[in-house]
Chains A and B, each alone.
Chain A
Amino acid sequence: MLRFVRHAIMAALVAGVGIGMSCAHADNWPSRNVSIIVPYSAGGATDILARKIAEGLTNELGRTVIVDNRAGAGGILGTTLAANAKPDGYTLFFGQVSSHGIVPNLAASLKYDPVKSFEPIIFIASIPNILVVNKDLPVNSVDELIAYAKANPDKLNYASSGIGASTHLSGEMFKSQAGISMTHIPFPGSAQAITSVMGGQTQIMFDNMPSAYQHVLSGGLKALAVTTKNRSPAAPDIPTVAEAATKADLSKFEATSWFGLFAPAGTPAEVITRVNTSVNDLLKKPEIIKFINDGGGVTEGGTPEELAKHVTAELAKWKVVINDAGIPKQ
């Protein structure tokens, strides 16, 4: 009992000191380097955007902002690490549609809560997926694709970059809203998946815009639509799925790869405000706008509350898609 009391006093002391310290930190934040956890390996789409933002933040804050790649378990490893990191403002998290939209609906057990474990900071960018088909498939529009699928049931295969990826769930959403059947063929990455569409082993893919669009330009693939609500600035002549489908009701079809900056829950409000202001400034710079537009996406920005609202909407939307598709929890 005595030992318990002693431990309790110690714990209270440590906690007190901890709170005192974090207050002191918030005043002159940042007094040392800040790291942004990216739950994927270096070189991928998320990593590259995060590095671009980290580079800009370094200039804005006057302290080095580094990208900390913590890949593993399809992003769950890094997200969990970030959720449990010390909320002192020196660890931030580069969240995306997967960590804060899809995975929480798909995983049987998670050691983080997309809403309770994080403070939203700022919505950074949205990038469309693009519906591409093999160049020899005799369809040239979303309407023709739906008609072809209905005339040839069980013939079409669509490729994805893995179970639960936005490339997979875009396909499931399309299937259920257009009322057609296609077989899902998962690959361990986007590159292998798009190779199979070009080679004709599979016929369709909802790929991330930047990597797929070059094959549309070179004539290797045909683009039928983009999956966002609005057309992409990088390819204004490609219609949205909702616009292109005149014979089926796809008006609610929207699947976006999006990115936002978060901090572990309990991070001082001053830090959140400071980073939000800095990134908002950054997202107005022509260089950053051009970088994101070149990748097919648009910059977002705004308040932390707007990101919170977006997360809630995304969690709800993907829940429906996953339930409709009957994908088992993992």
Chain B
Amino acid sequence: MDLFGNIAMGLGVAVQPINIGFCFIGALLGTVIGVLPGVGPTATMALLLPLTFGLPTEASIIMLAGIYYGAQYGGSTTAILLNLPGETSSVVTTLDGHQMARQGRAGAALAIAAIGSLVGGSVATLVLAAFGPLLTRAALSFSAPDYFALILFGLLVSIILAHGSLLKSVTMVVAGIALGTIGVDINTGQFRMTFGTMELAEGINFVPLAMGLFGIADILRNLENRGSGMGTVSVISSLWPSRDDIRRSWPAILRGTGLGSLLGVLPGGGATLASFASYSLEKKVAADPARFGKGAIEGVAGPETANNAAAQTSFVPLLTLGLPTNAVMALLVGAFIIQGVQPGPMMLKQQPGLFWGLIASMWIGNLMLVVINLPLIGLWVKLLRVRYEFLFPAVLLFCAIGAYSLHNSGFDILVMAVFGAVGYLLIKLGCEPTPLLLGFVLGPMLEENLRRSLMLSRGSLMTFIEHPISLTILIAFALTLVTVVRPSMRRKRDIAFAEEET
């Protein structure tokens, strides 16, 4: 095992001035687009792809990768400050992060997100370097029934993670699953619930849905409560996490690193699950779960660490097999091919400098992200002091630009507006949008893997018991279900949540 030799070679490539320069540009761009609501890494990388034609291979890939993990990182900023999740992974950050901001602790939330991301990203990169090929084999043995069981478990977790009435959160999950069925059915190619419009043929896009339900709905509510100031923050207590914050956060950061590194490897959207899984784990192990949803710093530290760790390990299937795990990775494949490199099993042999250089650049990039972002925290927090009359039109404008940039079409702006109204209604009804979003993301994956499992087993339900991974997860599912439903436990849950509703 020549891991250290390889890493040394990689560092040799990554510290070349041109590569350091482009790594910085990537990390900076990623932060900026992460901060702008709705402008995601996919649109930015698609825009920048032609500019990379003339660059050396290492520099262009290092920059594009930097945009990707930089955006993961920057996305937490708007989630915390403005309750605007730009992507799936930052949805849970809004739960406690935005509450912290409302309590004037935005600085602490942002700083802990930065520190957690650095730890998660660095450790996960080491995991990627040391165990990449091994993890790939494990991911390959994950079959349709295993995915089905994992996603089912994820949905149950999403119900646990919500506050308020169990009935309401189940309703929200089901509504999310229903919204997720819109679009072409993979198994038959038939259009479902598209009402003959081509815009709906590929379903509702996550970004306008999330921006509408969270960001726009929040603006509507804030405007309604104009009497109580700008609706967010009046006093800002401190810019930095207190000693108590650090004490609470570090175990969450360690757990988030482990969870994120593992789930990120799964080709079927494991990274999506990472931040949700981390949040519910933190809530489970907390001595006082009632603090969650009211500004618990562990609820920021865990998920933010997990999503950054997952962002790094989701490079594993790409680099070892050439298999993209999400839309951004698919774009990276394109960037590799344009440079004349086919990402995959042969890359390590044919282009070791590129492979190890990219991995080493991730450490440098993660460090740069902290260097870029820590000084900015003061600036971001000041943003909250901007008068709301000036702040909210700017946010609306950026949301609209972000929605438009997805498909270069106005339809997504319309979707965002509709779900903004829906989100406002949900706030009035006391329903949480988080389980809805999770149902929306996981529902189609659940259906796809259920139907695929049954097609492969020729209709036999035994397939879920015959696969050991699926069986294990289903047993865990059953045990969790029992603890949720058992009357004594439910009473405890009700007490905990009744407090929160006051």
Q: Which residues of A contact B (CB under 8 A)?
A: 41-44, 47-48, 51-52, 55, 67-74, 76-77, 80, 106, 154, 157, 162-164, 183, 185-189, 191-192, 194-196, 198-199, 201-202, 210-211, 214-215, 217-218, 220, 291, 294-295, 327-328, 330
Q: How distant is A58 from chain B, measured CB to nearest CB, in Å?
A: 10
In the complex, given contacts A43-B45, A47-B334, A215-B321, what are 16 additional A-B residue pairs having Cβ atoms less than 8 angstroms apart? A44-B334, A48-B337, A51-B49, A55-B53, A72-B407, A73-B198, A77-B198, A77-B199, A154-B458, A157-B456, A183-B458, A186-B187, A202-B456, A211-B322, A214-B342, A214-B345
Q: How distant is A267 from chain B, measured CB to nearest CB, in Å?
A: 22
Asked whether, in the complex, the Cβ of A198 is within 8 Å of the Cβ of B321, the reply is yes
Which of B143, B188, B321 has the most chain A CB within a 10 Å cutoff? B321
Segment of B209-217, B224-232, B323-331, B379-387 in the binding face: B323-331
- In chain B between 293 and 336, which residues have their CB closer than 8 angstroms to a CB of chain A? 317, 321-324, 327, 330-335
Give the nearest-CB partner of A47 in chain B.
Answer: B334
Known: A55-B50, A202-B456. A76 touches B201 (CB 8 A): yes
**Bound complex: CA of A117 vs CA of B156, how far in Å?**
50
Known: A51-B50, A72-B202, A218-B346. A294 touches B340 (CB 8 A): yes
Q: Is B452 an interface residue (CB 8 A)?
A: yes
Q: Is B186 an interface residue (CB 8 A)?
A: yes
**Bound complex: CA of A189 vs CA of B267, how far in Å?**
12
Q: How distant is B42 from chain A, measured CB to nearest CB, in Å?
A: 8
Asked whether, in the complex, the Cβ of A214 is within 8 Å of the Cβ of B331, the reply is no
Known: A41-B327, A69-B46, A72-B201. A185 touches B191 (CB 8 A): no
Known: A43-B331, A43-B333, A188-B186. A215 touches B345 (CB 8 A): yes
Known: A199-B140, A199-B141. A42 touches B456 (CB 8 A): no
Asked whether, in the complex, the Cβ of B268 is within 8 Å of the Cβ of A330, the reply is no
Binary CB contact string for chain B from 163 to 188 against chain A (1 if under 8 A, 0 otherwise): 00000000000000000000010111
**Bound complex: CA of A69 vs CA of B416, how far in Å?**
21
Q: Which residues of B contact A44 (CB under 8 A)?
A: 330, 334
Q: Is B190 an interface residue (CB 8 A)?
A: yes
Asked whether, in the complex, the Cβ of A162 is within 8 Å of the Cβ of B189, the reply is yes
**Bound complex: CA of A71 vs CA of B340, how far in Å?**
24
Asked whether, in the complex, the Cβ of B321 is within 8 Å of the Cβ of A70, the reply is no
**Bound complex: CA of A68 vs CA of B458, how far in Å?**
43
Q: Which of B199, B335, B455, B458 contacts A43 (CB 8 A)?
A: B335
Give the nearest-CB partner of A220 in chain B.
Answer: B345
Q: Is B241 an interface residue (CB 8 A)?
A: no
Asked whether, in the complex, the Cβ of B448 is within 8 Å of the Cβ of A188, the reply is yes
Q: How distant is B122 from chain A, measured CB to nearest CB, in Å?
A: 27
Q: How distant is A214 from chain B, measured CB to nearest CB, in Å?
A: 4
Q: Is B220 an interface residue (CB 8 A)?
A: no
Asked whether, in the complex, the Cβ of A51 is within 8 Å of the Cβ of B338, the reply is yes
Q: Is B144 an interface residue (CB 8 A)?
A: yes
Q: Is B289 an interface residue (CB 8 A)?
A: no
Q: How distant is B100 from chain A, measured CB to nearest CB, in Å?
A: 36
Asked whether, in the complex, the Cβ of B342 is within 8 Å of the Cβ of A210, the reply is yes
Q: Which residues of A contact B327 (CB under 8 A)?
A: 41
Asked whether, in the complex, the Cβ of A215 is within 8 Å of the Cβ of B202, the reply is no
Q: Is B132 an interface residue (CB 8 A)?
A: no
Q: Is B408 an interface residue (CB 8 A)?
A: yes
Binary CB contact string for chain B from 137 to 160 against chain A (1 if under 8 A, 0 otherwise): 000111110000000000000000
**Bound complex: CA of A163 vs CA of B187, how far in Å?**
7
Number of B residues with CB within 8 Å of any CB on chain A: 50
Q: Is B378 an interface residue (CB 8 A)?
A: no
Q: Which of B188, B323, B331, B335 contacts A191 (CB 8 A)?
A: B323
**Bound complex: CA of A72 vs CA of B191, how far in Å?**
12
Q: Which of B45, B144, B189, B342 contacts A163 (CB 8 A)?
A: B189
**Bound complex: CA of A43 vs CA of B322, how far in Å?**
13
Q: Which residues of A contact B448 (CB under 8 A)?
A: 188
Give the nearest-CB partner of A183 in chain B.
Answer: B455
**Bound complex: CA of A327 vs CA of B187, how far in Å?**
12
Q: How distant is A167 from chain B, measured CB to nearest CB, in Å?
A: 13
Give the nearest-CB partner of A55 in chain B.
Answer: B53
Q: List 18 A-B contacts (CB under 8 A).
A: A41-B42, A41-B46, A43-B45, A43-B46, A43-B335, A51-B49, A51-B53, A72-B202, A80-B198, A106-B189, A154-B458, A163-B188, A186-B186, A186-B189, A195-B317, A218-B344, A327-B189, A330-B191
Q: Which residues of A contact B267 (CB under 8 A)?
A: 191-192, 195
Q: Which residues of B contact A48 (CB under 8 A)?
A: 334, 337-338
Asked whether, in the complex, the Cβ of A42 is within 8 Å of the Cβ of B345, the reply is no
**Bound complex: CA of A210 vs CA of B187, how far in Å?**
25
Q: How distant is A59 from chain B, measured CB to nearest CB, in Å?
A: 12
- In chain B between 29 and 49, which residues have their CB closer than 8 angstroms to a CB of chain A? 42, 45-46, 49
Give the nearest-CB partner of A191 in chain B.
Answer: B323
Q: Which of B143, B198, B408 contacts A76 (CB 8 A)?
A: B198
**Bound complex: CA of A185 vs CA of B453, how far in Å?**
10
Q: Which residues of B contact A188 (CB under 8 A)?
A: 186, 448
**Bound complex: CA of A199 vs CA of B42, how far in Å?**
28
Binary CB contact string for chain B from 112 to 126 against chain A (1 if under 8 A, 0 otherwise): 000000000000000
Q: How distant is A161 from chain B, measured CB to nearest CB, in Å?
A: 10
Asked whether, in the complex, the Cβ of B456 is within 8 Å of the Cβ of A70, the reply is no
- In chain B between 240 and 258, which residues have their CB closer than 8 angstroms to a CB of chain A? none
Q: How distant is B135 from chain A, measured CB to nearest CB, in Å?
A: 14
Q: Which residues of B contact A55 (CB under 8 A)?
A: 50, 53
Which of A48, A52, A157 has the most chain B CB within a 10 Å cutoff? A48
Q: How distant is A134 from chain B, measured CB to nearest CB, in Å?
A: 11
**Bound complex: CA of A186 vs CA of B322, how far in Å?**
20
Binary CB contact string for chain B from 88 to 101 against chain A (1 if under 8 A, 0 otherwise): 00000000000000
Q: Which residues of B contact A198 (CB under 8 A)?
A: 140, 321
Q: Which residues of B contact A199 (CB under 8 A)?
A: 140-143
Q: How distant is A149 from chain B, measured CB to nearest CB, in Å?
A: 16
Known: A48-B337, A55-B53, A202-B456. A191 touches B330 (CB 8 A): yes
Give the nearest-CB partner of B448 in chain A.
Answer: A188
Which of B338, B408, B458 has the most chain A CB within a 10 Å cutoff? B338
Q: How distant is A174 from chain B, measured CB to nearest CB, in Å?
A: 19
**Bound complex: CA of A20 vs CA of B409, how far in Å?**
30
Q: Which residues of B contact A74 (CB under 8 A)?
A: 184, 201-202
Which of A67, A70, A157, A191 has the most chain B CB within a 10 Å cutoff? A191
Q: Which residues of A contact B144 (CB under 8 A)?
A: 196, 201
Known: A162-B186, A191-B267. A77 touches B141 (CB 8 A): no
Asked whether, in the complex, the Cβ of B334 is within 8 Å of the Cβ of A43, the reply is yes
**Bound complex: CA of A157 vs CA of B454, how far in Å?**
12
Q: Which residues of B contact A73 (CB under 8 A)?
A: 184, 198, 201-202
Asked whether, in the complex, the Cβ of B334 is within 8 Å of the Cβ of A201, the reply is no
**Bound complex: CA of A80 vs CA of B199, how far in Å?**
12
Q: Which residues of B contact A187 (CB under 8 A)?
A: 186
**Bound complex: CA of A73 vs CA of B197, how far in Å?**
10
Q: How distant is B277 from chain A, measured CB to nearest CB, in Å?
A: 21
Q: How distant is A244 from chain B, measured CB to nearest CB, in Å?
A: 25
**Bound complex: CA of A192 vs CA of B321, how far in Å?**
11
Q: How distant is B295 from chain A, measured CB to nearest CB, in Å?
A: 38
**Bound complex: CA of A192 vs CA of B325, how far in Å?**
8
**Bound complex: CA of A76 vs CA of B191, how far in Å?**
13
